[in-house]
Amino acid sequence: MSKIAKALQENIHFMFISGNSTPDFRTINDFRGKRLKGHIHQLFAEVVKLLVEMGYVSLAVEYIDGTKIESASNRYTFVWRRSVEKYKAKLEGKIKGVLSNINKSIHADNQDKNQEVLPEKIDTQVLKEQLSQLNKKLKTPNKQQGKALVKLQEEHLLKLAKYELDLARMGNGNAYSQTDVSATFMRLKDDHMKNGQLKPAYNAHISTENQFITHASIHQTPGDTTTLSIHLDGFQQAYNQQSDTVVADAGYGSEENYELLEQQQIAAYVKYNYFHLEQKQKISNNLFLAQNLFYNQAADFYVCPMGQPMEKTGSSKRVSSSGYESQITHYQAKRSEGYPLRGMCHQAKDNRVLSINHRLNQLKKQAKQLLMSQKGLELCSKRPVEVEAVFGQLKSNNHFKQFTMKGLEKVKLEFLWMAIGHNLRKMGTKSRQLAQQARVQAEKTSFCLFPLKMATLSSKCCVLDKKEKLK
């Protein structure tokens, strides 16, 4: 912010844009982080709508991809679920021990043979209840009891509350950063230490068209599979419409995403795992692979390469992390021992089992048809120069590899600022290129007309000469 404040006083371009206004860096920071907090999405959408009006984008196609951007927090501020759970279990054991000792001493003092039953699960609420009961019972505790009560109250209760808070902050994740609670630990390809360590980061997703960013969203999960529905919802909210076509890489090729795109009537030019591998002869000619086995749809059974029918044995459900349910059908060969091709077919002790997701196979088939079509090949060949180029521009050319703000809302704000900046810069470049092209075209046209004009002029001169001669 201080750089912008300085530039507003020294840089002629900044002075021109600000109309010679020189706000303090705190004012600029407040404007960036507080004033625009609730309006940044609208502002971004307005810039994109302007691009639509100018004919630079149509919102008909979205090239979607994500990249991980490091959080502003230090990587050494992480708290891991495994260690929290381990220390919490130890502490619970200690608390139970202390509670049992106090209860024993109370019963010994009262000469009561009935032992108090301790609660099985210890959390802060239970411990508080236990402490209040003990305080009622022990009006004048002895030295040992007093010490134990103080320890429970001032040490164990606080630690237990901290561990509970840590686990609540982690949610479903495995770790969190103490200085940026919203960040998730992700493996970054291009972290600034260049050693691919786990770092607190955010998963930033963009949609692009003609290298303009048409939509952006920030996610806290490292994988791309579960982010598509949130990203598309954001697009719908911003423009009140969905695009006709989505082009994305294999990270998005799941049953859930294909279904979602089909429901929204969006053409899915989305690859899936093994899409490229399938094209190789080594894979397509391997008769033992599940996808190459003959399937009798009417009678619902597969036939193995030895001609043995593999009949349906049952079905099960697979639930994704987002709660999507997939139906898996299982088939098994009846007898495999003694068959000469067994080593090439499978390694399992029992007869070969196939677990097939028929719906996913059908959706993959549709996606393959689209991807292998002329339009599909064109769109896919454009993908690296679309979304990948924009990430390159943001991260390498503009050095935006780490957020400067902390917390999910502020990170969203900062990323949208970067996206708006990218779009405006690109708009400027495109306008200059178009103006240049128009100038060259005009010059070409005037150059072509030059001989014609010269000829017209000379013929006029000849006519004048003749007239003068006649006089």
Residue number, 121 or 335, with CB nearest to ligand SF4: 335
The 10 Å Cβ neighbour count of residue 201 is 27
Tell me if 153 sits within 8 A of 161, measured CB to CB: no
Q: For residue 189, which of 174, 199, 176 has the smallest C-alpha distance?
A: 199
Residue number, 341 or 464, with CB nearest to ligand SF4: 341
Tell me if 17 contacts ligand SF4 by CB under 6 A.
Answer: no
One of 175, 304, 356, 390 touching ligand SF4 (CB under 6 A): 304
Nearest-10 crossing angle of helices 143-151, 124-137:
160
Q: Write each residue from 253 to 292 as x if it is in contact with ligand SF4 (CB under 6 A), else as -, in one continuous string.
A: ----------------------------------------
Q: Which listed range, 36-44, 51-59, 336-344, 409-417, lies at the site for ligand SF4 (CB under 6 A)?
A: 336-344
| Shortest CB 305 distance to ligand SF4, Å | 5
Site for ligand SF4 in 404-463 (CB under 6 A): none
The 10 Å Cβ neighbour count of residue 416 is 21
Q: Which listed range, 104-112, 244-252, 340-348, 364-372, lies at the site for ligand SF4 (CB under 6 A)?
A: 340-348
Tell me if 342 contacts ligand SF4 by CB under 6 A.
Answer: yes
Tell me if 332 contacts ligand SF4 by CB under 6 A.
Answer: no
Residue number, 67 or 336, with CB nearest to ligand SF4: 336
Tell me if 336 contacts ligand SF4 by CB under 6 A.
Answer: yes
| Shortest CB 179 distance to ligand SF4, Å | 55
Tell me if 305 contacts ligand SF4 by CB under 6 A.
Answer: yes
Beta 198-209 vs 212-219: how paired, if at all? antiparallel
| Shortest CB 400 distance to ligand SF4, Å | 53
Alpha carbons 199 and 175: distance in angstroms, whole number? 10
Residue number, 341 or 457, with CB nearest to ligand SF4: 341
| Shortest CB 291 distance to ligand SF4, Å | 15
Tell me if 1 contacts ligand SF4 by CB under 6 A.
Answer: no
Tell me if 303 contacts ligand SF4 by CB under 6 A.
Answer: no
| Shortest CB 302 distance to ligand SF4, Å | 9
Q: Write each residue from 347 to 386 as x if it is in contact with ligand SF4 (CB under 6 A), else as -, in one continuous string.
A: -----x----------------------------------
Residue number, 48 or 333, with CB nearest to ligand SF4: 333
Tell me if 354 sits within 8 A of 290, measured CB to CB: yes
Q: Which listed range, 179-187, 292-300, 305-313, 357-365, lies at the site for ligand SF4 (CB under 6 A)?
A: 305-313
Number of residues lying near ligand SF4 (CB under 6 A): 11
Alpha carbons 378 and 385: distance in angstroms, whole number? 12
| Shortest CB 301 distance to ligand SF4, Å | 12
Q: For residue 364, which of 271, 280, 302 has the smallest C-alpha distance?
A: 271
Tell me if 295 contacts ligand SF4 by CB under 6 A.
Answer: no
| Shortest CB 117 distance to ligand SF4, Å | 57
Burial of 61 (0-12, 13-18, 19+ CB in 10 A): buried
Q: Which residues bind ligand SF4 (CB under 6 A)?
A: 304-306, 308, 333, 336, 339, 341-342, 345, 352
